[in-house]
Amino acid sequence: MNLDLTEEQVAIRDTVRELCQNEFAQHAEKWDREDDVPRWAVDKLAELGLLGLAVPEEYGGLGSDMRTTIVVIEEIARVSAALAILFAVHNSVGAYPIYEFGTEEQRKRWLPRLTSKDMGAFSLSEPGSGSDASALTATAVKDGDHYVLNGSKNWVTNGHHAWTFLVFARTGGPGSKGISAFILERDTPGLTVGKCEDKMGLRGSHTVTLSMDDVRVPEICRLGPENEGIKIALSALDKGRIGVAAQALGVMQAAFGEAAKYAQQRNAFGGPLSKIQAIQFKLAEMEKRVQGSRLLIQRAAWLKDTNQPCTRAASAAKLYSTEAATWVTHQAIQVHGGYGYVKEYPVERYYRDVRVMEIYEGTSEIQRLVIARPAGGGRGGGGGAARPRRAAPGAGAKRRPPRPRPPAPARPPAVPPPRGGVARGPPPAGGPPLAPRRGPRGGRARPRGPPGGGGRGAGRPAPPPPPPPPAPPPPGGARPPPPPPPRRGPPPPGPGPRAAQAPRTPTPSASPKNSPSAPPRSTRPSSCSTRARPFRSSPATARKSPAGSTTRSCATCSSDSATCASSKSAAARSSRASPSRASSRRRSRSPSARRTPRPRSRTSTCRTSPSAARAP
């Protein structure tokens, strides 16, 4: 996709720009005030051949592509949006559908006049059907080789300038498949053109109503096959929406230019407005939306010129450009301040003109619905694979009968599960019994119940029997003696999980100083430098004295618990847990023992060890 304009497109653009600046710009405000674009403006466009811009030369047109058309529409809209919509409707949905869908006889009958001097109009909406075009109620009843049309239409652009009206009426049943298109000339008996609507913007454009009262037209006036008019309407709207987007781009460009010029000329706070950051941000956002709109419009026009599906691309261009134009014109008024609200400056007219562009040729809500359709499904655009659709029942596709399922095999009788497991089934004949099945986490699976019921708890092992009741008290009221309290000493050594405790008071023969193999005592106070730990006697730390009594030793320094500070600290913590024992121990201790400082070092060297005794 090449965004550069060709030499021919540049020449057409420059010619149209010169015409608009010299002939139309000075009258645009008057056309808005008087609610009329004069006929001489249409004649000026016809002199340049712009009325047949998209029609081939053999029918009196220029044969230009869609990109050339949007360039011309943009240049006209920068001066007068009312004249731009008149030109866009004529080229996009007025004359071009006759060339695209008409027969050779229809082309020769209407196109030469539409490309030279007269205008065309498009009439789809009705008072009761706007966005829902398939709900229209105008009828066209076939009578021999003629059709008789009855009904009313509204929102018809170019009403007072149009020579032909492309009207849609119902020729079949309800829905979109019963609509046909007809070409009605202005002087057809029974066709009445109503008054112009008093609009907020685009006041120079003539928007009228149509009334059809037994309008009788020959069969040649039907455009395309019968009951296929909705296809013609949607195809014309694809091109018309690209033209509306180009029209919004032209108005947006004009509003941005006016805001930038005013910001450079207006002084405030000791300098021009263009030096204020808040205004700079507004102008930057305007430029961004102008350029983004141009890219979307160019892409949609390129898809149309290359005969690719462009419905979603056209809707995206119209949606973004029209909403961006509304925002840009609003901010242009904000930059102008109070002057933007008065008719002396054109920005207020730009805002009024652009507001309706979000409504006609399909509202913004309809554009979002079109864009949201599956890519490639039907009239999509912009690539993407179509989502396959499942054939509806009764629409020619026969449903496959359900496949019969084989009967479920009978379950074998359950075998009583072994203890702690569940049997997998009957053991094979002549083989060993199967091992119990394990659960998902490695444990034993819960036993299953027999097939056919039993409830949630069926198959579970029986609960243990309840404990026996307590024995009755002896006669006479005397209570049995309470059981003796458990022994609270260290467990003695043994193979159990915890050895029985030894007596707390060591025998004199178990003292290290009376043992023949005891290391020499140091002159320092007898206390272990390691952090005090709870003392537990075990086979590894319990040793026997020469007399045969069991004593406890420190797990770090192998000294006697009576002299090691770790054992004393453990005993002190044990005494704090029992207040009575702690008080008795405090009374039995000497003042010097209570004043012994608590060790602070965390090293593993005991002061009573031989290495500590040899320290200088």
Residue numbers annotated as active site: 361
Integer Cα distance of 177 and 86 in angstroms: 30
| Residue 60, helix vs strand vs coil | coil
How many other β-carbons are positioned within 10 Å of the β-carbon of residue 416? Answer: 8
Residue written as tokens 């467990």? 491
CB 398 within 8 A of CB 405: no
- The helix/strand/coil state of 510 is helix
Q: β-strands 146-157, 222-223: how paired?
A: unpaired
Residues near 441 by Cβ (< 8 Å), separated by ≥ 6? Answer: none
CA distance 352 to 268: 28
Residue type, 62: L
Do residues 114 and 51 lie in contact, with contact meaning Cβ atoms separated by under 8 Å? yes
By C-alpha distance, which of 138, 136, 157 is closest to 147?
138
Tokens 């026009």 sit at which residue?
301
d(CA 446, CA 438): 9
405: tokens are: 């399922």
Instruction: Please provide the DSSP assignment of 259-298 as one string.
Output: HHHHHHH-EETTEEGGGSHHHHHHHHHHHHHHHHHHHHHH
435 HSE (CA, 13 A, CB side): 4
Neighbours of 500 (CB within 10 A): 14
Sign of the CA dihedral with 241 first, then 244, 250, and 253 last: negative
**Tokens 């007219």 — which residue?**
349
The torsion angle over the Cα atoms of residues 89, 179, 193 and 190, rounded to 10 degrees, is 140
- What is the residue type of 339? Y
What b/e readout covers 173-190, taking b as 16+ CB neighbours within 10 angstroms? eeebebbbbbbbebebee
Q: Which of 234, 235, 223, 219 is nearest to 103 (CA)?
A: 223
- Cα dihedral 273, 277, 282, 283, rounded to 10, equals 60
- Structure tokens of 186? 């202005």
b/e 454-470 (16+ beta carbons within 10 angstroms → b): eeeeebeeeeeeeeeee
Tokens representing 125 are 């909406």
Q: How far is CA 118 from the centre of its chain?
A: 50
